[in-house]
Chain A
Amino acid sequence: MYRYDEFDARIVHDRVSQFKGQVQRRLTGDLTEDQFKPLRLMNGVYLQLHAYMLRVAIPYGTLSSGQLRKLAFIADRYDKGFGHITTRQNIQFNWPALVDIPEILDHLAEVEMHAIQTSGNCIRNVTTDHFAGATADEIEDPRVWCEVIRQWSTFHPEFTFLPRKFKIAVTASAQDRAAVRVHDIGLHLVKNLAGETGFEVYVGGGLGRTPYVGEVIRSFLPSEHLLSYLEAILRVYNLQGRRDNLYKARIKILVNALGMDQFRDLVEAEWLNARDSSVDVPQEEVDRINAYFAPPPFENLPKAYDQTSATQDNPDFARWLRHNVSAHKQSGYAIVTVSLKSPEMAPGDITSTQMKRVADLAGDYSFDEIRTTHEQNLVLPHVRQQDLFVLWQKLSEQDLATANAGLVSDIIACPGLDYCNLANTRSIPVANRIQERFFSPEKQEEIGELKIKISGCINACGHHHVGHIGILGVDKKGEEFYQITLGGSAAEDASIGEIVGRGLSTDEVVDSIERLVAYYLQSRQSDERFVDTYKRLGSEPFKEALYAA
């Protein structure tokens, strides 16, 4: 993985000193909360319902064991022993005291981490495929380009006060695990007919109040021009994006208002002048970064390790193999998804003890590497197949082996009313109740892939628009209601779910979802997924099932 050199280290160090000064000025009263707010927001510090929240960047979701141990230490020392993995592959601490934050940043800097640009109207932490560098279906490791983007976008002098936040995601696989089409810019690494790599560039995707699936602005951008093209897009957006209405300020609104053709013309005109400037880093620098992402020293192993004896005696292990273990590009290795979706915990929450344990297990079994996923789980990317059984046993001891990756209980949920001061409703308890209802692993397996996503308000942090089943919390005269959307997807078949009808009360919601699932089970053909059956039959019968009570 990427390691800081003197320049990277100094930039983070200088940022910590600067923020220390800002906190100091706040604590002495030189800055009012109003003046301090934009400054803390540039550094991932939010004022939540009960306390300050600190969001720490995990660039493109890649962590070392040492970094995860440091996060565990911070959770113990400055939080209540928890961390929360976000839908942008970052980690949040919900209870730090403001006075402690500079010290926390010092600790983070020791392990080459920071909270830079995890909030504010700037280019946010770039996200990617959590199987990057491990999956067989990628063209090349997309994290190299993520790091190129990370450096270019860090303290970008022109793009730090954009109309609104700006999110970029990169994937290098046909199977889109990074939800690139619901980002402000989505980058899909492809090869052209001549065998050169470049990007298919999507723009204008996003969730929130007005969800859009991004459209292609350029079907092939030679990779050496990535940064100049990004600058051209950002420049058009910075000048023309709306600033009069917070809810109409994202780039998707601009793209939609101008139409893609006109927007593209503006960008291309801007790019014509920028493409030969020094903003594009030379191949030498790309190669330097690329060297950090060289594959770990894999052993030469036979293609498949025979798990028969272990699976015969352990149906739970067999199930975990089926759902939480994915194919690796290296013969004899596998990718393991560590579920943070046990019904005992808020989705994405992890205790400091679990963090330490995962850090150790990554050291023993995955070349010291861990990933965070936008679906709020962890991944051990490089595990020898012959180690899977003991790894599973050790994860089980920490309640980290729930065999539910991609299944009905693998729910994305925003913090909701339990933490967030914008919330209409709670999200976490609804997630937990659904998980309890579908507790049976056999039942979950029978249902198959089903992505439920829950947001506690229209800001859509829980990505409900792109859930196969989306749940949106709404407030009706002081009471909590839940609006259901169906048929959304964040993957390569990206689509926005449709609202099917009136909101459901807290008491109704879990029963209704169970009826939806029952209807799907009785109507599906062969191995159709929930979302496929929905697309085949349309919303009517599902709507009937939903409100059948």
Chain B
Amino acid sequence: MLLKLENNRLEITIGDDASHDVMNLANDVHALEADVLNVDIVVLNFPTFKDGRAYTQARQLRERAGFTGDLRATGDIIRDQILYMVRCGFTSFEVAPETDVGGLNAALAEFSDFYQPAADVAVPVWMRRQRAGREQLRRFA
């Protein structure tokens, strides 16, 4: 089953890989050595949920290689990691057919504050603190 991230929610979708350029990137390939320029979809694998190499590969593709296409996670994808995956830049997920999509979406909403910047649009807490501080100054000025 393929899930696609739209507006920070996962929806079931039908894959259309045949009409796209798809690249499967193995975990031991350095993401910056892959030529992703003309690729639509890069697929990264989680052989087990404990193997976190693809998190780094994903961030490198997004933040360093400037990859803007669809970044897909396959393999052992569990509810409690989905938020980390999204934060590292994944936008679609090949999950087992019996996956509870509602549960995954609930997991995405479990946190709304993040200390560190990553490949998503979340503004790190320190930046929000600064904004809040400036806002307060303005109000008292």
Contacts and interface: CB of A to CB of B under 8 A. Distances in A.
A50 interface: no
Given A14-B111, A160-B84, A285-B130, A279 B116 contact: yes
Contact of A278 (B115, B124, B128): B124
A285 B129 CA distance: 8
A10 B112 contact: yes
A386 interface: no
Contact of A151 (B80, B88, B115, B128): B115
Q: How large is the interface on B (under 10, 10 to 19, 20 to 34, 35 or more residues)?
A: 35 or more
B117 interface: yes
A11 interface: yes
Most-contacted residue by chain A among B52, B53, B117 (CB, 10 A):
B52
A281 interface: yes
B125 A7 contact: yes
A464 B50 CA distance: 29
B4 interface: no
Interface stretch (A101-109, A235-243, A322-330, A354-362): A235-243
B129 A157 contact: no
A238 B110 contact: no
Given A10-B112, A277-B117, A285-B126, A157 B84 contact: yes
Contacts of B87: 157
Contact of B115 (A11, A15, A39): A11
B124 A239 contact: no
A7 B50 CA distance: 28
Contacts of B124: 278
A308 interface: no
B93 to A, nearest CB: 15
B118 A157 contact: yes
Interface stretch (B14-22, B34-42, B55-63): B55-63
Contacts of B64: 273
B113 interface: yes
Nearest to A279: B117
A124 to B, nearest CB: 15
A288 B133 CA distance: 11
Contacts of B116: 151-152, 156-157, 227, 279
Contact of B112 (A14, A157, A284): A14
A35 B57 CA distance: 25
Interface string A219-249: 0000000010000000100110001000000
A10 B64 CA distance: 31
Contacts of A235: 56
A215 to B, nearest CB: 24
Nearest to B52: A161
Contact of A161 (B50, B112, B113, B126): B50
Contact of A38 (B50, B57, B59): B50
Given A7-B129, A160-B84, A238 B112 contact: no
A32 interface: no
Interface residues of A, number: 40
A159 interface: yes
Contact of B126 (A15, A239, A281): A281
A162 interface: yes
Contact of B51 (A15, A151, A157, A161): A161
B9 interface: no
A350 B112 CA distance: 37
Interface string B67-84: 000000000001011011
Interface in B122-141: 124-130
A22 B78 CA distance: 12
Most-contacted residue by chain B among A7, A42, A151, A152 (CB, 10 A):
A7
A11 B111 contact: yes
B80 A39 contact: yes
Contacts of A8: 125
Contacts of A15: 111
Contact of A284 (B30, B59, B130): B130
Given A39-B80, A278-B124, A288-B129, A161 B111 contact: no
Given A7-B125, A151-B125, A239-B56, A158 B50 contact: no
Contacts of A35: 78
A277 B119 CA distance: 12
Interface string A256-290: 00000000000000000100011101101100100
Contacts of B115: 11, 151-152, 154-155
Nearest to A286: B126
Given A7-B125, A158-B56, A121 B84 contact: no
B129 A239 contact: no
Interface in A6-59: 7-8, 10-11, 14-15, 17-18, 22, 35, 38-39, 42
Contacts of B51: 161, 243
A361 to B, nearest CB: 34
A158 B117 contact: no
A5 interface: yes
Given A155-B111, A158-B84, A161-B81, 10 more contacts: A5-B129, A7-B125, A11-B113, A152-B115, A158-B52, A158-B88, A159-B52, A239-B30, A243-B50, A279-B117
Interface of B: 30, 49-53, 55-57, 59, 63-64, 78, 80-81, 83-85, 87-88, 110-118, 124-130
19 contacts: A7-B113, A7-B125, A11-B125, A14-B112, A15-B111, A35-B78, A121-B50, A151-B115, A152-B115, A154-B115, A155-B84, A155-B111, A157-B88, A158-B118, A243-B53, A277-B117, A279-B117, A281-B126, A285-B126
Interface of A: 5, 7-8, 10-11, 14-15, 17-18, 22, 35, 38-39, 42, 121, 151-152, 154-162, 227, 235, 238-239, 243, 273, 277-279, 281-282, 284-285, 288
For the complex of A and B, the 10 pairs showing the least CB-CB separation, nearest first, are: A161-B52, A157-B87, A157-B84, A285-B126, A151-B115, A158-B55, A7-B125, A278-B117, A18-B110, A238-B56
